[in-house]
Amino acid sequence: MAELPCDADGRCMVCKVLPEDSQVILCNSCSSPWHMSCLRPPMNEVPAGDWSCPDCEPSVSVSAVPLAEETDNVLSRIRAIRADPSLSEKEKARKCQDLMSRTGGEQINGTQEKKSNKMLDIFDENLNCIFCMQLADRPVTTPCGHNFCLKCFQRWIAQGKKQCGKCRTPIPPKMASQPRINSALVVAIRMAKASSTTISSGPAKPYVYIQNQDRPDECFTTERAQRPGKANAASGKIFVTVPPDHFGPITSENDPIRGQGVLVGETWEDRMECRQWGAHLPHVAGIAGQSGHGAQSVALSGGYEDDEDHGEWFLYTGSGGRDLSGNKRTNDKQSFDQKFDKSNLALKVSCKRGYPVRVVRSHKEKRSSYAPETGVRYDGIYRIEKCWRKPGIQGYKVCRYLFIRCDNEPAPWTSDQVGDRPRPLPKIPELKYASDLTERKGQPAWDWKDEEGVWGWVTSPPSSRKIEENGTGRRSGTRKSLTIGQRLLKEFGCGLCKKVLKLPLSTSCGHNFCKVCLEAEFSGLNEIRERVSLGGRSLRAQRVVKRCPTCQGDISELMHNPQVNRQMEDVIQSLKQNAKDDSDEESDYSDVTEMLDSSECVVEKEEVTNGQGHAETCNVPSKLSQKSSCAENSSNLNVTLKMHTLKEEEFLKLCARYPDFSEDLLRSMLSDQAGDLDELEGMLRVLQKEEKKRRTKASKDAKESDERYGSIPEADEQNGDGARKKRRHND
């Protein structure tokens, strides 16, 4: 039997009795109480001098245990540190930690040479191994939620210990024989250690995203192509030095080869060659832009029959609304409404801010009198004045944009010697039936300058997300660097929802999941599956195996009594607070902020029930988002989520339609969907369908197993009885 100390109530964990004070001895190292009669060998009286428990003085048969002299020396120094009244508790812990790491206690007496790492301190406070008191090296996480060094854990198991060294919870045999390292903690600790030597305030490192030196001068089609043309051609070099998100004309400064820039009226053989000169980079899509940045160029190639081309102005139709499933690159038939998202939203952003948009026309636009006869032609700078939605020719709504030409060079179809001048907007009859109309209210970024008599930038042009490197044949850009706290926070992601962990559960196979996500993964599954043969006989019950969603390892014991990893939860909460304190410009870190907002639900108190029927009430710190506020309700012990636009009655109806899911689970899932009831119902439909498939498959497998291993159907039993009667009659 394993040697165990007394619990928090003073009851011995071996004999389960409450011993008298005279029968209890305290360890001089860890101060834990031990029942003298349950020690091996039992102790009749308190020994003279200092006494250390079996956990602090393991068996000498283990090869990893230090020598007795060295152990006594370390223990004596630890006792001297703890007995020093001039030191605070934090200083004592720090000295003991440095002593165990063999760095010597003398290093703390003087002034520290290195500045304390804030991120490393967060990990140091919550993820220390309880054996060596150091930050866990090659961390191993037990199902009860405690972290240890791999070597310390193996040394503990080698002593014959089968319980967790902190809470005495039994360790699964498979984990004891083959512990798995928690990779998420490894990456996070490595990043925290590296942050002490990394200068985060320095300039961002440039990165190369186009290798022009490896591209041919002209795009070509290989001999292996099964069809002629350049649909699968290799793209040629980019001859201009503007970044992909460059707004406005391409001037001579960005044309190192010819020194003239891209001129109005310049024609290319096809879209691939047009791409090489930067006028319109996509060789298939008609819109080049980013939804949060704006659109740089468009191509008129006859893709939508709703387009109207009048030369100096035209009505452009957005993208989308067509079924491109399978391997289809385009489709003439529209099957659903267009929305202001993706590239359509990029055009809307350019409309609001008044950005210049480059326009190229293709010879494929057969309905326009202004399209070139062959190839693709650059027709100058246009500006979007209005955008709206209206029912298209095929009956579905389309996004519409009014483009007005505003270039300093004359149009290719005119004989004028000068470019455009400010002109009034044309009358658009279809605006009577328009919806979602958007008009620019402020001054456009690209406008007419009366003093100079030219079109140009009135405000500063939008900064490119890529940085140019002229004359090198390639272009580089800067990635926006996150703070070390935000980078660490992204490492603590759930394996199912891919968001920051909430109430993290650590499996014995080394993976981490949100408690709500993991319980939803196995909702509706019982612990044991009852089996009945075709003849009505009851068969041996089978245990339902619940497998890890990442590695398919068996985590049935964890799901029977899931224990939240409180150490990891404390680290995540500290990182969240630190990330909010350090990020002065939240717009630069929208991806991390979105993860934070989506992962923050207002949790007042949670009642966790274990497998023996005991309830453990745990307080979970609540986080309030800047965009929403919730009233505190201390009397409620369940998970409480604030709903914004969703009515409580509609949510209760949804709970009634899906009785297999608890109300607390549905509220948690609703918070992940940002309060969208339609998204939640769609997810529940999918989960219900998958659960039905799983049950059908399980029933089919059980039926095949019963037929294979000897369950006799009723028909066979009747035939057997008839055969026996016939043989008895013949005898």
The DSSP bridge pattern shows strands 376-391 and 446-449 to be unpaired
pLDDT tens by residue, 7-58: 767 888 888 888 888 888 888 777 778 888 888 888 888 887 778 887 776 4
pLDDT of residue 118: 63
Distance CA 51, CA 57 (A): 9
Reduced 3-state DSSP string for 414-478: CCCCCCCCCCCCCCCHHHHHCEEEEECCCCCCEEEECCCCEEEECCCCCCCCEECCCCCCCCEEE
Q: Is the per-residue pLDDT at 704 higher than 60? A: yes
What span, in angstroms and rounded, lies between the C-alpha atoms of 40 and 1?
A: 9
pLDDT at 592: 43
| Continuous H helices in 160-246 | 173-177, 183-194
- Picking from 586, 448, 502, 534, the residue whose alpha carbon sits closest to that of residue 709 is 534
How far CA 571 is from CA of 318, 492, 504, 516, 661, in Å, comes to: 46, 10, 11, 19, 30
How far apart CA 200 and CA 204 sit, in angstroms, is 9
Average pLDDT, the chain: 74
What pLDDT shows up at residue 228? 57
Q: What is the pLDDT of residues 63-97, one digit of tens each?
A: 333 444 445 566 777 778 878 888 887 788 777 77
Q: Check: pTM over 0.85? Answer yes or no.
A: no
Name the residue with higher pLDDT: 704 or 618.
704
Cα 479 to the chain's mean position, in Å? 19
Residue 473 contacts by C-beta under 8 Å, 6 or more apart in sequence?
212, 213, 237
C-alpha count within 13 angstroms, C-beta hemisphere, residue 58? 18
**β-sheet bridge partners, residue 294:** 290
Region of 411 (left: φ > 0; alpha: ψ -120 to 50; beta: rest) is beta
534-544 pLDDT tens trace? 777 777 777 78
Span 583-639, pLDDT tens digits? 544 444 444 444 444 444 333 333 333 333 333 333 333 333 333 333 333 333 333
Q: Give the confidence band of 317 by pLDDT, cuts at 50, 70, 90.
A: very high
- Per-residue pLDDT at 206: 38
Cβ neighbors of 611 (< 8 A, separation 6 or more) are 560, 561
Q: Where are the beta strands (DSSP E) in 29-116?
A: 33-35
**Predicted pLDDT of residue 385:** 95
Most confidently predicted of 189-203, 339-353, 712-726: 339-353
The interaxial angle of helices 677-708 and 663-672, nearest 10 deg, is 120
Q: What is the pLDDT of residue 613?
A: 38
Write out pLDDT tens, residues 545-573.
Answer: 888 888 778 888 888 788 888 888 888 88
Look at residue 598 in the predicted model and tell me its pLDDT.
45
CB-based burial of residue 724 (10 Å sphere; 0-12 exposed, 13-18 middle, 19+ buried)? exposed
Range list of H helices, 583-673 = 590-599, 648-657, 663-672
On the question of pLDDT at 225 being above 50, the answer is yes
What is the three-class DSSP state of 378? strand
Q: What is the pLDDT of residue 347?
A: 95
Quote the CA–CA distance of 500 and 513 in Å, as a whole number. Answer: 9
Write down the pLDDT at residue 125.
66
Q: What is d(CA 46, CA 28) in angstroms, rounded to the nearest whole number?
A: 12
pLDDT of residue 468: 43
Residue 491 binned pLDDT confidence (cut-offs 50, 70, 90) = confident
State residue 279's pLDDT score: 94
pLDDT for 133: 79
d(CA 286, CA 301): 8
The confidence score (pLDDT) of residue 700 equals 80
- Between residues 285 and 98, the one the model is more confident about: 285
Centroid of chain to Cα 49? 56
What is the pLDDT, as a whole number, of residue 233? 60
Average pLDDT over residues 193-204: 50
Contact 64, 71 (CB under 8 A): no
End-to-end CA, the chain? 65
- pLDDT tens per residue, range 405-457: 999 999 998 878 889 999 999 999 999 889 999 999 889 999 999 989 999 99
Confidence at 117, pLDDT banded by 50, 70, 90: low
User: Are the C-beta atoms of residues 601 and 629 closer than 8 Å to each other?
Assistant: no
Determine the Cα–Cα distance for residues 520 and 660; give it in Å rounded to an integer. 10
User: Cα–Cα distance between 262 and 250 in angstroms, integer?
Assistant: 6
Q: Collect all residues with Cβ–Cβ distance below 8 Å to 80 and sequence separation of at least 6.
A: none
> Is the pLDDT higher at 363 or at 105?
363
Token output for 288:
């080049």
Residues of the chain above pLDDT 70, percent: 71
What integer is the mean pLDDT of 350-362? 95
pLDDT value, residue 481 = 56
Of the given ranges (189-198, 476-485, 671-680), which has the lowest mean pLDDT?
A: 476-485
Strand 356-362 and strand 294-300: the pairing is parallel
8 Å CB contact between 13 and 6 = yes
